[in-house]
Each structure stands twice: as C-alpha cells, then as structure tokens.
Copies of this chain bind each other. A is one copy, B any other.
Amino acid sequence: MSLTRIRHRALHGKVMSAAQAAGFIRDGMTVGMSGFTRAGDCKAVPEALAARAAHDPLHITLITGASLGHDTDRLLAEAGVLARRLPFQVDRSLRRKINAGEVMFIDQHLSETVEQLRSHHLAPIDVAVIEAVAITETGGIVPTTSVGNSAQFAQQARQVIVEINLSMPEALEGLHDIYVPQDRPARQPVPLTSPAQRIGQPFIAVDPSRIAAIVFTDKPDSPSNVLPPDDETRAIAGHINRFLMDEVHAGRMPATLHPLQAGIGTIANAVLQGFEDSDLQGLTMYSEVLQDSAIALLDSGKLAFASAASMTLSEPVYRRVIENLDFYRSRLVLRPQEISNLPEIVRRFGIIALNTALEFDIYGNVNSTHVNGTHMMNGIGGSGDFARNAHLSIFVSKSVARDGDISSVVPMVPHVDHTEHDVDVLVTEMGLADLRGLAPRERALRVIEHCAHPDYRADLKDYFQRACRRAGGQTPHLLDEAYSWHTRYARTQTMRRAPARAREAEVVLAG
C-alpha cells in the first residue's frame, strides 16, 4: 500500500529496514540528515544507527539543517557516534559532550553550511538521510515539514537514504520550492523578489540511481516546546509593536511593514502573537522557521504570506495545518535554508529581523551562544544571516535571568556573535533602545536607561562613567573589570554586588 508513495517504480526494490539502511553509514563518514528545528528530521535511521553503535562502535561527522527532534542528538551522542557536529543543536546531552571537548561542534551561520560543502571547505557528504512524503515519478524527493539543507545533501551525497513518513500526508507535496544556486564564481542572481514567489521545483531532484535505501516510518515530528507568553514577553512584544507602528507613522515603512523574520523560541513567538492586537495588516514573513504564532497570524488574516525553511508547531496547530492544507498551500512556502537565510535576499527585501540574545552589553554587542563566554548553548543559527543584512535588526531578551541574579545587560559580553554594527534595536521588558545613528557612548546611555533592570542600572552607569573617565576612547571599557560581573556570578551565584546590609550581617556573623 505504502509503495504508492514511491512513484518511481524502479525504486520499489530499495525498501528495507532502518537497521539495514543504517548499514550504509560507516565509521569515519560524513552524514547529512534532514531536519530543521525539530521539523522534518529523519526518525528511524538515526535510532538504528545508535542501536548498532552499542555493539559496533563508529564515529561520524553529522551535518543537519538545524536542530533535530526525537532525542536523536542525545541518542547519537550517548552512543558515542558523533565525532563532529554542525551547524546547530539544542540537546542537553550533546551540549555536555560539546562543552567537555568530546564532540567537535562547528557553530555556523545557517546559510553557509551548504555553501561550504559546495566549495569543498567541508568534507563531502557520504550518505544523506532525508525524510520525505513521497518520491516522484522521476525519483525526486518531496520533503516533509522542513527543507533545511536536504536539497544540497541529497544532490551531493554518494548515497541517499529516504525515510518516507506515512504519518505525513502526501498533500504536503507542492508546499516546497526547491531552488539551488549555481556553483561560484559563475552564479546568477537568485531571482526572488517577494516572499510569495516560487522560483524552483516542488521536489529535490536527484539521480534515482543514488537512492540506496528507502525506509518507511510513521512517527510524527516532535512537537514544538515553546512556552506561552508571560508578563515579560508580553511587555517585550508591546514595545516592539509600538516601535513598528511609530516607524509606519513616521513614513519610514509601509503599513504592511517589510517582510519579518523571527527567531525560534518563546520570546519571538510572543512578539508575533502580539501583532494580533495591533493595527498591522497584510504582513509577510520571510523567516527560517514558522512557529504557532505565524499560523495564527495567517488564520486571522494579519499575515498574507509566510516563507521559511521549516515549520515547527505544537501538536494541535500541526493538526490544523495538515487538515486545512488547501488554505495554507497558497499562503506558505518552505525553501532551502540557503535561500530562506540568503544575505542577498535579506538585504534586497529589507527584512525586519527579530532574534533572541542570551545577553548584550552596553554598547550593543550581542552574545547569542556562549553561557559565561565559554559554554555553548545552541548555536548562532540564522541570526547572523538576518541581523547583518536586515533593514532593522532587533534583539530581544528578558532584562534578568535566574530570579534576577543574572543581568542580561552587562558591561561587556564575554562572547560576541553580533557586533554593534549589526544591532539596531535592543528590547527587554523594561523598554526599547533605538540605537540607529548613535555612537557607542550614546548607545551605552540609551541601553542602560531603556533596557537594564533597575537593580543593575546604577552599577552599569557607574561602570560606564568610570570607563569614560579612566580609559576613554570610542568604546570606553575597564579591561580589568569588564568581566567582573561574570566572574562574580561564577563565584557567588549572583551578579549583584553584596548589598551593604548583607555585608554587615556577614561581618556580625563572622564576629
């Protein structure tokens, strides 16, 4: 019955078990797997690979679109399979091994991975494992809920394993627009001039002779796990909404804004939800991921069209999309991430980029990735592709973390993912700092005033003023105490200075 999903009949003989298919993956290989922010990842082959590694150890380089669902990264990491991993991950076990130096993790701009493969700066893909809803009459692979890097993986790999997911309806066919740029230096302009335009094919074209195995699965995607908005994320959304409306009223943007990009996660989701209550209409998204909020905006008509590399939805919203594909088909497109995130397009469209910061400093440099400057969280993802080339580059964060013991606004970030040049607007629940056209000393005052939590504002101002007096410069800093907030946290579990009263108490106790 399920063989009807393999419309290129010559491939019927390639159907096998996941364990058999996993046999194509051997020690030392570079493997490219579908999957972008938990959507459209292959489910069966990685599991079989992890199971096999228990008795037959092997080490591979694993390249994906972005993060995987189904604890795949945990299974593979714990089975010792991952020697090298790129370009993004969100798994706790894998993260532990990365930070212990046991897995070599290459953190990359998400648009660049396949560019580096194409340029042979990375080892070539030996085996690609791609989730699909079907294989077409010509052997083309129809992806599921993400495209990610699958097109280039499949086209470059010596051998391709296709996982046909029977839980995904064949009606997903037609949602994808697969455009693959030419090799450089003789590349043509990518002809996209609006988010809704289609410039490619609805499947990944591959030579069917390279399809080495086909595996059937029926596991749905891991549902998204974003939290509902809280008071802080609602406040952040409110600041951004007002700011964008002001831009429209000042004549700096049309009422439909420019195409929006929103990073993955709870805050970005809340910001988009906030648009429901705004007067904005006819919006478009040109993003890497669509979350629940994007679907809700399509439903309400606020959003006219959404383009992305994946959709990462909660279970009920996924159901709604699947059951109403005819509605969404004319309002949604999924593209390769090198197109969804391409600097050429981001700059051409003048995208409004909304991304989440782990922390930022008073001059507007952003750390998106490294806890305390050393430990990898998830990776830079596509934030750099968008922030650098955006019309407006907005970064958001709550002003504090860990019950207020960590300030997200610090004197100097101990890891820079986005430099001050690439950050136009910073937002916390406290307010919004519009940094456009300001020099660093001006930025500092605005960031402290508008974004820092009141508990830390005086200390930040004190640092800034002493840095201006003692060091001076374009970007005043005191290098011997720039990281004192971080080292204090490591020592005392809080960035707060010991308050006078607490210090007295300590003295009394000590006495």
Contact = CB atoms under 8 A, between A and B. Distances in A.
Interface stretch (A40-48, A116-124, A270-278, A316-324): A116-124
Given A374-B475, A436-B122, A107 B350 contact: no
A251 interface: yes
A468 B438 contact: no
A171 interface: no
Interface in A89-141: 98-101, 104-109, 112, 115-116, 119-123
A375 B468 CA distance: 11
Interface in A423-478: 424, 436-439, 441-442, 467-468, 471-477
A251 B120 contact: yes
Contact of A479 (B108, B252, B369, B483): B483
A372 interface: yes
Interface of A is mostly: loop
A501 interface: no
A365 B474 contact: no
Contact of A436 (B121, B342, B365, B373): B121
Nearest to A350: B184
A479 B486 contact: yes
A190 interface: yes
Contacts of A476: 101, 374
A187 B483 contact: no
B436 A185 contact: no
B350 A342 contact: no
B414 A416 contact: no
A67 interface: no
Contact of A416 (B100, B376, B419): B419
A105 B369 CA distance: 29
A437 B348 contact: no
B344 A347 contact: yes
One complex includes copies of this chain to the number of: 2
A191 interface: yes
B190 A350 contact: no
A343 B387 CA distance: 13
A4 interface: no
A468 B421 contact: no
Contacts of A250: 120
Contact of A415 (B415, B441, B475, B486): B475
Contacts of A370: 473-475
B374 A473 contact: yes
A189 interface: yes
A350 B416 contact: no
Contacts of A424: 121
Contacts of A108: 421
Interface in A477-494: 477, 479-480, 482-483, 486-487, 490
A74 interface: no
Given A99-B472, A342-B347, A473-B374, A437 B487 contact: no
Contacts of A101: 441, 468, 472, 476
B191 A189 contact: yes
Contacts of A185: 254, 258-259, 349-350, 391
Interface in A154-190: 184-190
A238 interface: no
Contacts of A99: 472-474
Nearest to A183: B350
Given A414-B477, A473-B99, A473-B376, A350 B122 contact: no
A421 B384 contact: yes
A78 interface: no
A109 B276 CA distance: 35
Contacts of A84: 439
Nearest to A193: B188
Contacts of A348: 184, 187-189, 344
A312 to B, nearest CB: 23
A370 B384 CA distance: 22
Given A109-B421, A123-B437, 14 more contacts: A99-B474, A106-B439, A107-B420, A120-B251, A122-B437, A185-B254, A189-B348, A370-B473, A372-B473, A373-B479, A376-B474, A388-B388, A414-B479, A480-B483
Q: Which 10 interchain pairs have the tightest Cβ spacing?
A: A184-B350, A374-B473, A376-B474, A189-B189, A104-B439, A416-B416, A344-B344, A479-B483, A375-B473, A343-B343
22 contacts: A84-B439, A100-B472, A104-B441, A105-B439, A106-B438, A115-B347, A119-B252, A119-B391, A121-B252, A122-B436, A184-B348, A187-B349, A187-B350, A188-B348, A189-B190, A343-B347, A372-B473, A374-B472, A414-B479, A479-B483, A479-B490, A482-B483
